[in-house]
Amino acid sequence: MDDHPEPLDLHAPLVLGTQTLAGLWRAVLPEEAQWMKLPTERFADCSSCAPAQRGDYDPGCRCCAHLPHVPNVSLGLALERPETAAQVRRVLAQGVALPSGLWAGPAHFKREVTLQAEEAYGTDASMACPFFDAPTAACGIYAYRNSVCSSFFCEHDHGAAGEDLWSRVQAVLGSAETALQQWAMGQAGLSWAVQSARMAELTPRLTEISAGTGWTEEALRHIWGEWRGREELFYARCLAAVREHEDSLAETLGQWAVTDAVEFELAARDLLAPEHRHEAPPVATGTTERVPLAELWYSLQLELRNLWSLPLGETLRWAPGVSVTSAEPTLPVLGQTLHRVEGGARPYGLTEEELTLFGLFREGRALDARVLDSEAADAVSDPRGFLSECVRRELLVSE
């Protein structure tokens, strides 16, 4: 009898609690990652996008105002579906795709970093990601988006702690994603070392090799070499390697030594105005060690444990000054209307059920199993997460 496990479905989104990540992460993350409890982010409401309404971002790009490093394997997956294949073919025609995945040309890189340094990120719609569909404000490759796109929220229900947590998620996903693209391209027949060496050869002419968002034909021919004109086949081969090795991939990537295209990336930084260089991503040279993936994974688990820790056994009460401003819900968030609570670290919105559970602590009450097993707690989808959020937001304090 064949007891080989079913192949992983890399197209189906990976749902972790209330968050949806790209299905590719099934093959890349350690098995225990599927039980990660990531926070719900109700206040980054992309259906209405408050930052665009306030004018912080241009509605023509919102927060999608950069060219994301979508890895080669994700592009291979997107090419397998007609609705996303057309999008990948478009970026190939724009000259922004390298063997490792999407990579902006030096001129676009400079413009992106300059806008960030001038605190103008998201204000220029001409910088919109090529996958951003302005009329619907939708991502054209949502199921295949990269680590940055999967872990960015402009608001965090858990405030600074949530922001820290998501930056650790990004560090883990980003490190695994970079290892994946570097490993896969070697399997497909054009190694990362070769791409880095070819990019280094371009550095003396850095100002001449940009075209629009991407690269001139000459630069693309140089970097792709014998694969120029056969990019789709190359990405398909990267993906085939993932499928062939999916049982051992997480372990392989955990040991993969990620490197940067040091010579090229340092030269690209030199194009920036000196006062803007701090905004450019750091380049890991021989003296700057990258943190190993296993260590990043461990620190993410610790951060998650801290985020959801509860002061069990302590008596909690509403913090002085906390009040529910109206008996009726008034705060519109994600298609529902919430009760607005004032007086904590910042205003917060509660559902009817959350308000009932929160109300148990008005005069002070021990946080124990009786509360956590109560009807009021049962009615809330994640009572422990909700109560730890109230503590973190200083709506509930210990007596």
Would you tell me which residues interact with ligand SF4 (CB under 6 A)? 44-46, 49, 51-52, 57, 62-64, 68, 129, 131-132, 139, 141, 145, 149, 153-154
**Closest approach of Cβ 163 to ligand SF4, in Å?**
13
**At residue 34, what is the residue type?**
Q
Sheet arrangement for strand 365-366: 365-366, 315-318, 396-398
**Closest approach of Cβ 113 to ligand SF4, in Å?**
16
**Closest approach of Cβ 276 to ligand SF4, in Å?**
21
- The closest alpha carbon to 216, from 124, 108, 78, belongs to 108
Q: Quick one: DSSP state of residue 65?
A: -
Concatenated DSSP letters of 88-140: HHHHHHHT-EETTEE---HHHHHHHHHHHHTT-TT--GGG--TTEETTTTEET
| C-beta closer to ligand SF4: residue 69 or 198 | 69
**Closest approach of Cβ 95 to ligand SF4, in Å?**
17
| C-beta closer to ligand SF4: residue 57 or 103 | 57
- What are the C-alpha distances in Å from 74 to residues 169, 215, 246, 312? 18, 21, 14, 43
Concatenated DSSP letters of 141-177: TGGG--HHHHH--SS-TTHHHHHHHHHHHHHHHHHHH
**Closest approach of Cβ 305 to ligand SF4, in Å?**
26
CA distance 150 to 8: 20
| C-beta closer to ligand SF4: residue 50 or 200 | 50
| C-beta closer to ligand SF4: residue 47 or 287 | 47
| C-beta closer to ligand SF4: residue 121 or 358 | 121
| C-beta closer to ligand SF4: residue 63 or 258 | 63
Q: Quick one: DSSP state of residue 16?
A: E
**Closest approach of Cβ 52 to ligand SF4, in Å?**
6
Helix ranges (DSSP H) in the chain: 25-28, 50-54, 72-78, 82-94, 106-117, 147-151, 159-188, 192-202, 217-224, 231-244, 249-255, 262-270, 293-307, 352-359, 369-372, 375-378, 383-392
| C-beta closer to ligand SF4: residue 143 or 238 | 143
| C-beta closer to ligand SF4: residue 131 or 183 | 131
**Closest approach of Cβ 189 to ligand SF4, in Å?**
26
**Closest approach of Cβ 45 to ligand SF4, in Å?**
6
